[in-house]
Chain A
Amino acid sequence: MRRADTRTLDANEAVADVAYRLSEVIAIYPITPASPMGEHADAWAADERPNVWGAFPQVIEMQSEGGAAGAVHGSLQAGALTTTFTASQGLLLMLPNLHKIAGELTPFCMHVAARTIATHALSIFGDHSDVMAARNTGMALLCSNNAQEAHDFAAIGHSVTLRSRIPVLHFFDGFRTSHEISKIVVLADEDLRQLIKEESITAFRSRALNPEQPTIRGSAQNPDVFFQSREAVEPFYAAFPKLLKEVFSEFAQLTGREYKLFDYIGVPDAMDVIVQMGSGAECTQETVEYLNAQDRKVGLIKVRLFRPFSLVDFLSVLPPNVKRLTILDRTKEAGSSGEPLFQEIASALVMALSAGKIANMPKLFSGRYGLGSKEFTPAMVKAIFENMTSPQAKLRFTVGIHDDISHSSLNYDPNFTIEHKGLTQCLFYGLGSDGTVSANKSSIKIIGEETSLFAQGHFEYDSKKSGSTTVSHLRFGPKPIHATYRITKADFIAIHDAEFFEKRDVLSAVKPGCTVLVNTASPPDTFFSSLPSPDRKKLIENNCRLFIINANAVAEQAGLGRRISTVMQVCFFRLAGVLPFEEAMEHIKNFILKTWGKRGSEVVRRNLAALHGALEALQEIPLPKEVGTERLRRTSIAANAPAFIQNVTQLLLEGRGDDLPVSAFPVDGSWPTGTSKFEKRALAPEIPVWQSDLCVQCNYCAMICPHAAIQTKVFDKTELAGAPENFLNVPVSFEDSLADKLFTVQIAPEDCTGCGLCIEVCPARDRKAPKRKALVAEPLALHREKQARHWEFFTHIQSANLASLPIDRRTAVLREPLFEFSGACAGCGETPYIRLLTQLFGDHLLIANATGCSSIYGGNLPTTPYTVNREGHGPAWANSLFEDNAEFGLGMRIALETREKSARWLLQQMADRLPQALLAKLNDSGNGHEWAALRRTALKELRDILLKDTSPQSQELLKQIDALAPKTVWLIGGDGWAYDIGYGGLDHVLASQKNINILVLDTEVYSNTGGQASKATPLGASAKFATAGKSSRKKDLGLLAMSYGHVYVAQVALQSHSKQTVQAFLEAASYPGPSLIIAHSPCIAHGYDLVKSPGQQKKAVASGMWPLYRFNPQNIDKGESALVLDSNAPAIDVAEYMENEARFKMVQLRSPERYNILLEAARDAIKQRRSLYEQLAQIHLPPERHHG
C-alpha cells in the first residue's frame, strides 16, 4: 500500500478523475447532474493532462446522448479505451447502443449520476429509474454509495470490463452523491496502472476492426441462428462475478479498502435485514449500527453488483437466521408486482429455494423510497425495521411521504435522529448569487485538506435562476461521515440574508447552544425585536448565541459589490470553532492567494480587505429574557389567493413541500397556470420609479422587461375611479386617435428583479437635470408598499380597445402579457420574446417547449409564469423532452388539424341550416387577439344554435365544437435543442409544410446546464468543450431552413431592434406554412453585465455578427426577392463587439495569438456571410405554379 493522498471533492470529480486517466476517447453530452464529469474531462484535456499511460485523451461533445453513444460504440470498435458520462433521459437515448456494445462483448465502462426519468414531470434529482431502464441492455450494473466508493468503483469498473469483456454501467446517486463533497483518498496513477491488466488491453485492441485482419460486426441474423448466437455470451456473464471479486481483491491489496459483491452490515444473527443499493444504504448502515448497539437483531445487505446477479454471493452474506427481508428500491415501476431490485432478489431466492440452497424462504417486503431525491433518514429506516415485525405490516410500501390515497406509506417518527459524537453540523441559508455555496465548498476543502477531520458538504438549490435560495449542509468530525440526509440538529446556522426569516423556518434545526449568524443591515439594538416572534422564542429557549454582521456593507466597502461570500466565510470560521481561528485565517488567506492570485493583485487585495472588514464588523447580540410582542412571519401569499395556492404553493415556498400528502397533487402532473404572481419575491434592492413628467410613451421599458414587471397601459378616464392616491397617469400623446385616453407605466415592485434594463433603454431625459430619466432607480423599501397597491390597481384597469391600431413595437406591448414574473435570470434575453409572443397571441396559444432554460423558468415549481387574461384564456404549455420538441409541437398541430377537419365536415353538413354570415366568421382564418375574439363570439352563436337543434349532426358538432376554437401552435426552445439535439426533428418539421411557428431562443450556448458549446456558438467564443475558442463558424440555421423554399425565416434582436422583431412575429404567425424565428438572446453565460445587453446587441447587429433579415417565400409570388435584409452592411469591426464579452475575452487571456487568428476568421466569416446574403437578397425567382 502506498501513502494515501487525500482530496476533498464531489463524486462527479472523483469519478471523472479516474475515468479520464483510464481513457483515450471520451464522448459526452451535457445533462444534469452528470455534466460536471464531462466538463472536468474537457478542462483537463484542454490543459493537456495525460492519462496514466502518458497519452492525451480526446474529449468530444456530441449533439445528443444518442450521438455520444454512437461515437462511443465506434471508438470501441476501432480499439480505443472509451468512456462516457450521463444520466436520466441521456441514458435512455444511449440504450440502443448499450445493447449493441454489450451484445458484442465490448469492454467499456460508463458512469451515470443516477437521475429520475421524466414522467408526470421532469426532475433533475436523483433516483434509480434511469439505471433500472438499462437493466436489460446486458451492461453490468455496479453501484457505489459515496464519493470514495464512486472513485474506487470507477477504477474497478474500468478494470473488470477489460478482463471480462462485459461492459459496465457504474452508477451513483445524482446530487446526493454526485454533488456531495467529502474527503477521499485519491488513487495514484500507479494504482490505476496496476489494476488494468496490460494483456486485457492488448486483447481488446486485437479485436478492433482492422483491415489487416478484417472481420464484420453487426450482421443481420435470421431465425435459424439468432437465438443460439445470442446465448453464446452466457459464459462471460457467468464469469463476471468471479472476475469482479478478483479485481476487488487486488484493489484491497493496493489500497486497503475492501469491497464485496454484497456487503453485509450488522450483527451475524440478524433476523430482519434490509437489502438496498445507493447512497440511502449509508443512512441505513448508520441506523443498523445504532440499532445493533441497542441489541436489535437487524442488518443491511448493500448490493454492489446488481447485474449480473450472483446468487451464490448473495446467499453467502445472507445472515443464517434471517426471517424477514425488506428490499428497498429507489424507483417506481407502475403496475409491477415489485420494483426491480425486489424482483431480482425475490426470483433469486425462489431459485435458491428450488435448488435447495436455502431451507426456508424469508418473508419478503418491498419498499419504495427516495424518488426524485426525496429525503431518506434514520427515522425511516427505523420504521422499515418496525414494519417487518408489526402485526399490521405492509408487504409493499412507500416511505418518506404521506400517501393518503393508496395508503402505501409507513408512518415514522420525524423526531428520531442518531447522535454523532464529535460531529459539528452547520447549516447555511444563502442566495444563489451571493457565493454561499462556493464559499462553503472552499471551507470544506480547507478543513478537509488542512486538518485530519472528515468533512461533508451537501447543497440544496431551488430552480430559480434569479434570487434562488441555497441551503448548505456541512458536517465535520473525526470519523467518516455516512449521514446522507439533511441536518436537523445544527451547531451553527448562518442566515446570509435576514429576509429568510420572513420566508421560511430557518431555525427549524436549531439545537441548544446553537450559534446563529445573520447577515443584516438592521441596527444591533433593533435586530432581535425585528424578528418574527417564533424565531425569537427559539433563540431564547435554546440558549443560542446570536451574531450579526452587515456583510453587504463590508463587501461593498471592500469593492466586492454584493459578493458577501468571503465575509461570511470568515465569520463562520470565527464562530463555528471547527479550527483554531488564527489557523483558519491563515488558510483562508492562502486560499484567496492561491485561487485569486491568478486573476491579479487587486482581486486579492479586495478579498483580503473583506476578510479584515468582516472581523471588525461581526458583533454579538445579547439575547433578552423575554420574547417580546407576538408577530408571525409575513406571508408572501395573498389572503385572497385560490385554495390550491394557499394549500400547496404556500408550503412549497416555505420549503415545506415534503409535508404535503399524495392527495394534494393532481394525478397526472397537470398544474394550474398563473401562479408566479402569488410569489412576491421582492428581489430588487432598487426598482425603477416612473417619472410621468418626462415619459415619451415609447414603451421600450415594457418591451425589454424580462419579467413583465414593468407594464404600460392605455385606458379610459373612467377607469381611474377608485384609484389609489398618487396613481400616476398622463394623457396619451403617441397616437392622435387615443388622445382622450390615459397612459401609465406601472412597476410590479415585488416582482421586479432590479436588472435595470428598462432604465438603460429609457430615452427620455430631464432637460434641466439630464441624470433623471423617465425611469429612476430608487430603493425598493421606499416604494414597495405604495407601488404594490398601485400595481394591484393597475392589474384591474381595463385596457382601451386597441383593435383599430396597427400592431407595431409600441402597440404590441400595450397588450396584456400572459407570461409574467418568471424565475429567469435578472436581465434574461430570452423571456422578452416569450412575453411578446403571449402579448400577440397568448389567448389562443399552444406552446411546445423544449427542455432547457425556457422549460425551467417556464414550468419549474413552485410557481410558474404562464397565466390567463380576465376571460380566463391563456397559453396552454407543455414540455415533452429536450430532443423531440419539434415533433411534439407538430403532433399538436396535426391533432388540431384533424379535429378541426372533422368538426368542419360536420359544419359543412349543416351549412344550409346556419346563417351565412356565421359560416363566414367560422371559416375566417387568421391570428391575433381580435381574430380570436371574433371566432369565440361566432362559436358562441353557433353553440346557441346547436343547443336548439336536436339533429344528430348538431349534437355531434356540439361535442366537437371546441375543435373550431382559435388556436395557434408555437414551438419554443433554445439553440441546444434547435441546432443540436433536436435538429433532425426540427428539420423534418420544417419540411412538413404544416402551419407551425418555431421560436429559437438563441443564447449560442447550452445555458441551462452551464455554458457548453452548441453548434450555435459563434466562432471565437470560448465555451465548455470549446475552451480555446470555437474555431468553426456558427451553424447558419436560417440559411438551412431557407433552402426548403417554403419556410418563413427571420432573424431578430428584440433588445435593440424591436420593431423588426414584432414585424417578424406577425409575419410568421400569418404565414400559412412553417416559420422559424431565430432570436438573439443575451445570456449571463456570455460574461458581461446584462444591463448593457441592448448596446451589446446593437454591436452584434452593427458588426455583422448577428444580421437581421426576414425571408418570406410569399414575396416570390409578388415578384420580389424572398430575402429582405433588415440590417445594413457591417459598420463596426467585430472586435468592438467581441471585446466586451468574457466568452471572447477569455480566449485572448488564454492565448492572444489564437484570439487574433479567430478574430480574423470571424471577420472573414462575416464578410462572406454578408456577401452571400446580399446576393440572395438580389435573387428573383420565378413563382411556383403548383402549391400544396
Chain B
Amino acid sequence: MANLTTDWLGLQLKNPLVLAASPVSKDIEFTAAAVEAGAAAVIMHSLFEEQLIHEQMGAHYFIDTRLDLDAEARSLMPESDLFPVDGEHYIYMLKKIKQRVRVPVIASLNGATPGGWTSYAAKLQEAGADALELNLYDVITSKDISSALVEERQIAIIESVVKQLQIPVTVKLSPFYSSLPGFVAKVEKTGAAGIAVFNRFFQPDISPDELNVDRTLHLSSSQELPLRLHALALLSTQTNLSLACTGGIHSGMDAAKAVLAGAHALQVASAVLQRGPQAVRDILHELDLWLDKMNYAHVADARGVLNLHSAPDPHAWERLNYAKMLAGWQLRKVF
C-alpha cells in the first residue's frame, strides 16, 4: 500500500482526495459518509455573492416591506428573530460540518465584485474554516470590458482576501485565460496558497422546442479531464502553488492521471453525487492499486512525472502536437 499523505495548501491530508465544492456539503450526513469513505478534506458548496444579495432582498421584500398594506392585515408573516441572510446560514453549516467531521473543512466563496467578498471571507475564517477557496468566475457579456481589466479586478479581489486572512487561500480558475501560466504567476504573488483547475463553468444549454435557454447544470464526466491535465502539466513546472484538479475525476485512473500531470489534490463531486460515498472508496482503492502496481511508494513520487518538463515527450503538451493530432485525424478520415 502506497503512502497517500499529501500536503495541500499547507494542510496535511491523509490522501489527495478532496470533496469538491458541490451540493454534497448541504447534507451533513452525506458529507460525513463521504469522509468516512476516505475523503481527506471537504470543500463546502459555494457561498454565492449574488445569491446572498438575492436572498437578503427577498427576505427584506417579503417580510419587512409587506406591512400595513390594508386595514386588516398589518403584516403577512409572523414577527420573529431570524438569522440575517448575510451568510449566517452558511456559517452555521460550516460549523456543523466542522463539528461532524475530523478532516479539514474549506469554505468556498463565489463572486465577481470586490464589494462584500472580503467581509464574508473574514467571517468564514472566524467560523473555523481551515482554508478558503475563492471561485473566480466572471461571465463577461460586454464588449467594453477588456481581459486585462478582468484579470486586474480578479487579482485585486484575491489580494484583498489574502491580506485579511491567516488561513490559506486557494483560487479556483476558469480555463479561459489568454495566458494561464501568466495569470497564475500573478496569483502566486498575491500570497495565495493554491490554484484549482478548473471550475465547471456555467454552460447553459438551449431547448429548441421551447425557444428558451435551459439552465440545468449537468454533472461532469471523465471527458472533461484532459483539459485539466493539460493545465496541470503546464503549471506544475512553473509555480510553487498547491495544485488541485477539479472536474472529471471519476475513477482511480482519472486520479492517477491528474497526479502524473502534477496535481496535489484531487477534487471529486460529480462521481460522489452519482454513485454516493462509495465513489470515494473506489477511486482511492484504484489509485492505491495503481501506485502499487507502478511501484510508487508515495503518491508524491508520481506527482508531475508527466508534466511539461518531465514527460518523455514534452511536446505532447504543446501546440505542435495539436496540429499533428488534428492532421492525423483528418488523414484517417480521408482515407
Contacts and interface: CB of A to CB of B under 8 A. Distances in A.
A and B found bound together: yes
A1023 B78 contact: yes
Contact of B76 (A601, A1085, A1148): A1085
A432 B69 contact: yes
Contacts of A565: 65
Contacts of A1024: 77-78
B176 interface: no
A356 to B, nearest CB: 51
B77 A1146 contact: yes
Given A601-B56, A603-B56, 11 more contacts: A433-B69, A435-B68, A461-B70, A561-B61, A563-B61, A600-B59, A600-B86, A1022-B80, A1027-B80, A1145-B59, A1150-B83
Nearest to A430: B68
A1008 B58 CA distance: 22
19 contacts: A33-B72, A39-B79, A43-B80, A432-B70, A463-B71, A470-B68, A563-B61, A565-B65, A598-B84, A599-B85, A600-B86, A765-B210, A856-B72, A1008-B72, A1010-B74, A1011-B76, A1011-B78, A1088-B62, A1149-B82
Interface in B70-125: 70-86, 89, 92-93, 116, 119
B72 A1010 contact: yes
Contacts of B77: 1011, 1022-1024, 1085, 1087, 1142-1143, 1146
Given A470-B68, A1150-B80, A601 B119 contact: yes
B211 A770 contact: yes
A563 B72 CA distance: 21
B311 interface: no
Given A1143-B77, A1152-B89, A1087 B62 contact: yes
A404 interface: no
Ranked 10 nearest A-B pairs via Cβ: A1010-B73, A600-B86, A437-B68, A600-B56, A461-B71, A770-B211, A1149-B82, A1142-B62, A1027-B78, A1087-B62
B76 A1146 contact: no
B1 interface: no
Contacts of A1026: 78
B297 interface: no
A877 interface: no
A559 interface: yes
A47 B79 CA distance: 9
A435 B64 CA distance: 10
Interface in B218-252: none
Nearest to A1005: B76
Contacts of B11: none
Contacts of A124: 71-72
Contacts of B70: 432, 461-465, 468
Given A46-B80, A441-B68, A603-B56, A1149 B62 contact: no
A1007 interface: yes
Interface of A: 32-33, 35-36, 39, 42-43, 46-47, 124, 175, 432-433, 435, 437-438, 441, 459, 461-465, 468, 470, 559, 561, 563, 565, 595-603, 606, 765, 767, 770, 856, 1007-1011, 1022-1028, 1084-1085, 1087-1088, 1142-1143, 1145-1146, 1148-1150, 1152
Contact of A599 (B59, B76, B212): B59
A1008 B67 CA distance: 13
A1011 B69 CA distance: 13
Contacts of A433: 69
Nearest to B75: A1010
A1009 B72 CA distance: 5
B214 to A, nearest CB: 13
Contacts of A1009: 72-73
Contacts of A175: 71
Interface in B36-62: 52-53, 56-62
B66 interface: yes
B65 A563 contact: yes
Given A559-B57, A601-B86, A435 B74 contact: no
B63 interface: yes
Contacts of B81: 47, 598, 1150
Interface string B122-159: 00000000000000000000000000000000000000
A435 B67 CA distance: 7
Contacts of B210: 765
A32 B71 contact: yes
Contact of B82 (A459, A463, A1146): A1146
Nearest to B53: A602
Contact of A35 (B66, B74, B116, B211): B74
Contact of A596 (B62, B64, B68): B64
Contact of A1084 (B66, B74, B212): B66
Contacts of B64: 595-596, 599, 603
A1150 B78 CA distance: 12
A306 B248 CA distance: 82
A43 B89 contact: no
B82 A1142 contact: no
B58 A1150 contact: no
A1150 B82 contact: yes
B68 A459 contact: yes
B302 to A, nearest CB: 41
A32 B63 CA distance: 21
B76 A1010 contact: yes
B89 A1087 contact: no
A856 B64 CA distance: 24
Nearest to A1148: B89
B73 A1011 contact: yes
A437 B71 CA distance: 11
A1088 B63 CA distance: 10
Contacts of A1025: 78
Contacts of A606: 57
Nearest to A1087: B62
A611 B119 CA distance: 24
Contacts of A36: 74
A461 B86 CA distance: 35
A952 B250 CA distance: 95
A33 B74 CA distance: 10
Interface string B188-216: 00000000000000000000001110000
A1025 B68 CA distance: 19
Nearest to B85: A600
A599 B60 contact: yes
A597 B56 CA distance: 10
Given A600-B85, A1011-B73, A47 B80 contact: yes
Contacts of B75: 39, 1010-1011
A459 to B, nearest CB: 7
B68 to A, nearest CB: 4
A438 B67 CA distance: 7
B76 to A, nearest CB: 4
A903 B74 CA distance: 51
A1127 to B, nearest CB: 22
Nearest to B71: A461
Contacts of B63: 599, 1087, 1142, 1146
Contacts of B57: 559, 602-603, 606
A432 B65 CA distance: 11
Nearest to B54: A602
B116 A602 contact: yes
Contacts of A602: 52-53, 56-57, 86, 116
A1090 to B, nearest CB: 11
Contact of B59 (A43, A1022, A1142): A1142
Contacts of A597: 84
A603 B71 contact: no
A36 B72 CA distance: 10
Contacts of A599: 56, 59-60, 63-64, 84-86
Nearest to B87: A600
Interface centre among A438, A468, A602 (most CB of B within 10 A): A602
A853 to B, nearest CB: 9
Contacts of A563: 61, 65
A921 to B, nearest CB: 47
